[in-house]
Amino acid sequence: METLNPFSIPIEGLKDGLHRFDFQIDKAFFKQFEQSPVQDGNFDIRLFFEKRPDLMILSFDFEGFMMTECDRCLEKINLPIKNTDQLIVKYADEPEEDAEVIYITRGTSHLNVAKYIYEFICLAIPMASVYDCEDDKNPPCNFETLKYLTRIEDDENADENANPMWDALKKLKNNKGLSN
């Protein structure tokens, strides 16, 4: 866990006001988390840390990519991920967490934000691992696979149009004389 030490923000001694912390994370960061959906990637994190007497507001702004397989053509891609998230930290008698607010005790000297950075990146991963790679200088796509998929879709559309059951349903749909 020594890899995560640079993500500890010194709360004690930090003056009230807005502070900025910049982090760069890579493969070594994600290896610290078991069962991570991100095995390899590079991200630039900008943390705007607003300290107030009664609470702290942490605004995370990150941009980067994770290496994964394309869901369309199965080639290795650098899937772009970008997001902004916010976390509120308040003081309480007992440390606890809920979905929106982290509670820490007064006198806590450091706050390690690695866990929150990891969670925000994981939550920003899109459901489908695809992006418009046509604009890339060297698109990573396997165009042979994409041609095959297009041919299958065309065949399915042709079969759908040839099915007489669909023709009967289309007639019902287009029949404006039906009453409810």
Residue 89 and residue 113 in contact, taking contact as beta carbons nearer than 8 Å: no
> Residue 9: helix, strand or coil by DSSP?
strand
* For the chain, percent of residues with pLDDT exceeding 70: 76
Sign of the alpha-carbon dihedral angle for 79, 123, 116, 21:
positive
Please spell the DSSP secondary structure of 34-102, one letter per residue: TT-S-SSEEEEEEEEEEE-SSEEEEEEEEEEEEEEE-TTT--EEEEEEEEEEEEEEEE-SS-EE-SSEE
Residue 29 pLDDT class (50, 70, 90 cuts): very high
What is the 8-class DSSP label of residue 14? P
Per-residue b/e over 128-147, b at no fewer than 16 CB within 10 Å? eeebebeeeeeeebeeeeee
Q: What share of the chain is helix, strand, coil (3-state, %, to 5)?
A: 30, 35, 35
pLDDT at residue 118 in the model:
95
- Could you give the CA distance from residue 134 to residue 123 in angstroms, rounded to a whole number? 26
Task: Quote the pLDDT of residue 147.
Answer: 67
d(CA 180, CA 16): 67
pLDDT confidence of residue 176:
55
Two tokens, residue 55: 């609470």
d(CA 78, CA 97): 33
Contact 37, 126 (CB under 8 A): no
The model's pTM: 0.75
Q: In the prediction, which pLDDT does 26 show?
A: 93
Residues in the chain: 180
SS3 179: coil
Query: Does residue 35 register a pLDDT over 70?
Result: yes
Band of residue 57 on the pLDDT scale cut at 50, 70, 90? very high
Structure tokens at 172: 């019902």
pLDDT > 70? residue 151: no
Q: Where are the domains of the chain?
A: 2-131, 143-174
